[in-house]
Chains A and B, each alone.
Chain A
Amino acid sequence: MFRLCSVPIVFVLCVLFCQQALADTSTAETGQVKAQLIASVDAVHPGDEILVGVNQRIIPHWHTYWINPGDSGLPTTIAYQLPAGATAGEIQWPTPEVITLGPVTNYGYENEVTLLSALKVPGDSVIGGVFPIKAQVKWLVCEEVCIPQKVELELVLPVVSLGVDTGKDSPLIKTARAALPVSSPWPIRLAHNEQALVLSITDTELPFVAISKARFYPAKWGQIQHSAEQPWQISGNTLALKLRAGDKPLALGENLTGVLTVTENSSGKRVTRGFSVNIAGSALAASGVTLPSEQPDLVLASALLLAFLGGVILNLMPCVFPILSIKALSLIKHAHQSPVQTRLQGLAYTLGILASFTLLGGVLIALRAGGVQIGWGFQFQSPLFVLAVAYLIFAVGLSLSGVFTIGGSVAGIGSSLAGRSGYSGSFFTGVLATIVATPCTAPFMGAALGFALTQPPVVLLAVFFCLGLGLALPYLLLSFWPFLQRSLPKPGAWMDKLKQGLAFPMYGAAVWLVWVLAQQAGINAVAVALGGMVVIAFAAWLYEFSKYTGKTAQRSGSGAAGLALALALIGGYFGVATAVPAAICLNSESATNYEPYSAARLSELRSAGKPVFINLTAAWCISCLVNEKVALSQRSVIDTFKSVGITYLKGDWTNRDAEITKILAEFGRSGVPLYVFYPAGAENSTHPVVLPQLLTPEIVTQAVRGKV
């Protein structure tokens, strides 16, 4: 029969016929799986390299396994029996899926999968003869219960002369090839220690990809913990995926193998691509003993609690406290209000805060989706935002001083922006409190926000919501609890004096912001900002003054004031936007016993085994500046650094800096301050120590000495 096939025309018919005749042996069916042995060609030439594969169609809800089945299960095996001289390669595993059953995580395939292998036809195959391929296939198929199964499949291909077409890839083979992981278009990097592994890819195009999920599938048991969450985040051009080490952690120099999948939302559809990984890693700096590496694993409940506590503490921040005080004063003044009205005021204030935090969270999500490097306090990296807040705080100060009042009544506490009567006033007080609170990264918020930034939008918003709730809590309690209201002092003239007194912290805050601006945008921006403040003060005065004149004068007065205000804002915008950013000039404010931070310098020092102290700071971060003042620039600390031989690296995050964002991320932080001490000794043998976010000279010297 096959001799006839050597005639090409007959051959086509014959192949059709032969395939038909052999269909029975090339497929097999169990109760759960229909298996078929397929080949990329209909006939072979001597010496060809072809693809063969076993296609499994699996009934719904059941699955077979990947090369690493995960926490349980068994990979499918194929034993090819081939004519002498022929060889079959390893199975080319398609990108698997995660299948979970309670705490058990498996990797495998549902519905359909084709396991391809390359097959080499010996060069001495006889043309006109046949090339039989036999495969013994064993698999474990599971739903909840598991059944081991075994089938024998056979496919016989004619051997034809070189000129004869052997046919095209079958659709099954094409689909199977498309499902294989490919080599990554981006370099993949790995850093790891005994507890954790961080896989990262960097590419300038990455921020433009709408990535909705990333996951790593280890090819070997033990390298990672299968059931652990794999938190990931994109900062700048880098996508980082964190894995928890498994029962057999990777040794240094040992390769991590497997598949990294990235799911992107492309025009409404989720497309997952698999990239093969086979790389050795470098040592991961953060040890599992220090807390930051634990923080990304921070359970949601803890994050929400911390965010809430952080919010409560924000009330004590120098710029927030006056605003809260004003609200409290207004409560005293409005003691005649019914409890219901008071409560509604409290609710409006809370609503203002929550709305602002939701908005901020939304902006963060949008920026993150756009791939911008962000961390908490990100808004303060924009000079324009700093200027706007400086103006706002200055205006609030003027209002507290009584230079102008918004609203008709001269008398009464409703004489400032924050004190505007009515529910909208309360709402905007909440907004104001949020805006001025943002630069103060209270210790609690670092962890909670670092966690939030790596999470899906819903979780991020939940964390922000709790933060807002915390910020709103004191006033909310006050407005809901008549007992607390009664314990407030009686209203009187002292309230006006206090109000005026509270203007000064606001002026102070404005001065600080102008100083931040100077760091970011240079000395000219300061002139613009200060000029703008004079114009604002003038506008305020004009507005207030014209209020007591006739209708026409009042209107023209308001108009002139509005014009002046617009002038300040527009002038500020152009003045600052065009200002040349000054070179980082933090150098001038304390003893210059440090070098600027760079990743290259750090790794140089570390590979030399030298002790390094890192301080990551920003001009707009109050706690950073306080720590530098009370601890890091103290004589005892400077002397200790010197005697221990520490190189002190300082990273300034005032303006965005990708390198610093990166090291912050390595320690699970999304904002400054961060203090890390790397003890002397070989890079692999020592673990960095993370210091608390509130420093004293003793904390620093003990940390540094304790480890040396």
Chain B
Amino acid sequence: MFLHRLFQIALVGFAFASTTVYAESVVDKAAPLFSATAADGTTVKLADLHGKTVVLEWTNHECPFVVKHYESGNIPNLQKDAVAKGIVWLQVISSAPDKQGHVSGETAQKLNAHRGATPTNTLFDDDGKIGKLYGATNTPQFFIIDPQGVLVYKGGIDSIPSADQSDIGKAENYVSAALADLAAGRKVAKSNTKPYGCSVKYAS
């Protein structure tokens, strides 16, 4: 019996060990909570945003795929529409210091002004913890969290992986489709899609 109990304890330890190693965002499950410093100097906590739809957009302004969707106005338009509807749109920068895309809060704000981008805020994840928590591998890459805090979408921006702006018109935009489904109270039809782009520039 003693052995059995010990065995059980060990198994619990086990399960814990494996979940911490493979912790990840899973569609239809509660989105992992985090808090992060934002470009405007405030601290943003996901838990505080309960009751609102939240879009997390992993970005790196120097990545050609990000450039594709900003220069074309694709992402700025999505941001404008979303924010107008009361959706919280957060850019997340997981580039480690001295890696591509790492910027100061001030630069991030300037870049957005320059690009006509109007996200609710820009979050810094210098140590990559939030990126790894969500399993973000690409820029651009999106995670949408519903007002109940459930992850309802993870994936890419659209259906044509390329760096060509001319493909945007031909592609199916997964992010706008997911937000439309959510607004209509439907289940997100394509809730887990293939992201494409540059790798997130983690420190390691």
Contact A302:B17 (CB < 8 A) given known A148-B163, A313-B3: yes
* Residues in B whose Cβ lies below 8 Å from that of A305: 10, 13
Interchain CA distance A294-B17 in the complex, whole Å:
11
User: Within 8 Å of chain B (Cβ to Cβ): is A595?
Assistant: no
CB-based contact A71/B11 at 8 Å: no
* Residues in A whose Cβ lies below 8 Å from that of B13: 302, 305
User: What is the minimal beta-carbon distance from A65 to any residue of chain B, in angstroms?
Assistant: 10
* Residues in A whose Cβ lies below 8 Å from that of B155: 247
Interchain CA distance A222-B18 in the complex, whole Å:
21
User: What is the minimal beta-carbon distance from B176 to any residue of chain A, in angstroms?
Assistant: 20
CB-based contact A72/B18 at 8 Å: no
User: What is the minimal beta-carbon distance from A227 to any residue of chain B, in angstroms?
Assistant: 8
Contact A146:B3 (CB < 8 A) given known A104-B202, A294-B14: no
User: Within 8 Å of chain A (Cβ to Cβ): is B184?
Assistant: no
**B17, B162, B199: which contacts A299 (Cβ < 8 A)?**
B17
CB-based contact A301/B17 at 8 Å: yes
Contact with B along A297-331 (1 / 0, CB 8 A): 11101100110010001000000000000000000
User: What is the minimal beta-carbon distance from B99 to any residue of chain A, in angstroms?
Assistant: 7
Interchain CA distance A425-B52 in the complex, whole Å:
73
Contact with B along A614-639 (1 / 0, CB 8 A): 00000000000000000000000000
* Residues in A whose Cβ lies below 8 Å from that of B194: 221-222, 247
* Residues in B whose Cβ lies below 8 Å from that of A73: 196, 198-199
User: Within 8 Å of chain B (Cβ to Cβ): is A444?
Assistant: yes
* Residues in B whose Cβ lies below 8 Å from that of A444: 6-7, 10
* Residues in B whose Cβ lies below 8 Å from that of A228: 22
CB-based contact A291/B11 at 8 Å: yes
CB-based contact B10/A142 at 8 Å: no
**A72, A443, A447: which contacts B197 (Cβ < 8 A)?**
A72
Contact A248:B192 (CB < 8 A) given known A102-B204, A443-B3: yes
**A72, A148, A309: which contacts B10 (Cβ < 8 A)?**
A309
User: Within 8 Å of chain A (Cβ to Cβ): is B105?
Assistant: no
Interchain CA distance A106-B14 in the complex, whole Å:
29
* Residues in B whose Cβ lies below 8 Å from that of A692: 4, 7
Interchain CA distance A140-B198 in the complex, whole Å:
9
Interchain CA distance A144-B162 in the complex, whole Å:
18
User: In residues 1-37 of chain B, which contact A (Cβ within 8 Å)?
Assistant: 3-4, 6-7, 10-11, 13-15, 17-18, 21-22
User: What is the minimal beta-carbon distance from B117 to any residue of chain A, in angstroms?
Assistant: 21
Chain A, interface size: which category?
35 or more
* Residues in B whose Cβ lies below 8 Å from that of A299: 17-18, 21
Interchain CA distance A221-B198 in the complex, whole Å:
16
Interchain CA distance A218-B96 in the complex, whole Å:
29
Interchain CA distance A491-B153 in the complex, whole Å:
73
Interchain CA distance A350-B164 in the complex, whole Å:
66
* Residues in B whose Cβ lies below 8 Å from that of A295: 14
User: Within 8 Å of chain A (Cβ to Cβ): is B201?
Assistant: yes
CB-based contact B192/A74 at 8 Å: no
User: Within 8 Å of chain B (Cβ to Cβ): is A147?
Assistant: yes
Chain B, interface size: which category?
35 or more
User: Within 8 Å of chain A (Cβ to Cβ): is B128?
Assistant: yes
User: Within 8 Å of chain B (Cβ to Cβ): is A693?
Assistant: yes
**B138, B154, B164: which contacts A71 (Cβ < 8 A)?**
B138
* Residues in A whose Cβ lies below 8 Å from that of B73: none
User: Within 8 Å of chain B (Cβ to Cβ): is A9?
Assistant: no
CB-based contact B137/A104 at 8 Å: yes
User: Within 8 Å of chain B (Cβ to Cβ): is A10?
Assistant: no
Residue with the highest number of chain A CB atoms closer than 10 Å, among B14, B154, B161: B14
**B17, B21, B163, B196: which contacts A72 (Cβ < 8 A)?**
B196
User: Within 8 Å of chain A (Cβ to Cβ): is B203?
Assistant: yes
* Residues in B whose Cβ lies below 8 Å from that of A221: 194
User: Within 8 Å of chain B (Cβ to Cβ): is A16?
Assistant: no
Interchain CA distance A69-B202 in the complex, whole Å:
18
User: Within 8 Å of chain B (Cβ to Cβ): is A277?
Assistant: no
Residue with the highest number of chain B CB atoms closer than 10 Å, among A74, A298, A692: A74
Interchain CA distance A412-B44 in the complex, whole Å:
75
Contact A142:B196 (CB < 8 A) given known A103-B137, A444-B10: no
* Residues in B whose Cβ lies below 8 Å from that of A583: none
Contact A71:B10 (CB < 8 A) given known A103-B132, A144-B99, A146-B63: no
User: Within 8 Å of chain A (Cβ to Cβ): is B64?
Assistant: yes
Interchain CA distance A447-B11 in the complex, whole Å:
10
**B7, B63, B128, B198: which contacts A102 (Cβ < 8 A)?**
B128
User: What is the minimal beta-carbon distance from B202 to any residue of chain A, in angstroms?
Assistant: 4
User: Within 8 Å of chain B (Cβ to Cβ): is A13?
Assistant: no
User: In residues 120-176 of chain A, which contact B (Cβ within 8 Å)?
Assistant: 138, 140, 142, 144-148
CB-based contact A72/B199 at 8 Å: yes
CB-based contact B14/A302 at 8 Å: yes
User: What is the minimal beta-carbon distance from B177 to any residue of chain A, in angstroms?
Assistant: 17
CB-based contact B100/A74 at 8 Å: no
User: Within 8 Å of chain B (Cβ to Cβ): is A579?
Assistant: no
Interchain CA distance A706-B64 in the complex, whole Å:
56
User: In residues 313-372 of chain A, which contact B (Cβ within 8 Å)?
Assistant: 313
Contact with A along B152-179 (1 / 0, CB 8 A): 0011000001111000000000000000
User: Within 8 Å of chain B (Cβ to Cβ): is A510?
Assistant: no
Interchain CA distance A248-B128 in the complex, whole Å:
25
User: Within 8 Å of chain A (Cβ to Cβ): is B195?
Assistant: yes
User: Within 8 Å of chain B (Cβ to Cβ): is A600?
Assistant: no
User: Within 8 Å of chain A (Cβ to Cβ): is B71?
Assistant: no
CB-based contact A694/B199 at 8 Å: no
* Residues in B whose Cβ lies below 8 Å from that of A69: 196
User: In residues 78-128 of chain A, which contact B (Cβ within 8 Å)?
Assistant: 101-104, 106
Contact with A along B72-108 (1 / 0, CB 8 A): 0000000000000000000000000001100000000
* Residues in A whose Cβ lies below 8 Å from that of B200: 72, 102, 104
* Residues in B whose Cβ lies below 8 Å from that of A297: 18, 21
User: What is the minimal beta-carbon distance from B139 to any residue of chain A, in angstroms?
Assistant: 8
User: Within 8 Å of chain B (Cβ to Cβ): is A442?
Assistant: yes
Interchain CA distance A313-B5 in the complex, whole Å:
13
* Residues in B whose Cβ lies below 8 Å from that of A74: 161-163, 196
CB-based contact B201/A144 at 8 Å: yes
**Cβ-closest 9 pairs across A and B:** A148-B163, A71-B137, A102-B202, A72-B199, A221-B194, A104-B199, A146-B198, A72-B138, A443-B7
8 further interface pairs, Cβ-Cβ under 8 Å (given A73-B198, A103-B137, A228-B22): A101-B201, A103-B132, A144-B201, A222-B194, A297-B18, A301-B17, A302-B14, A443-B7
A interface, CB within 8 angstroms of B: 69, 71-74, 101-104, 106, 138, 140, 142, 144-148, 221-222, 228, 247-248, 291, 294-295, 297-299, 301-302, 305-306, 309, 313, 442-444, 447, 692-694
5 contacts between A and B (CB under 8 A): A72-B195, A102-B200, A144-B99, A299-B17, A443-B4
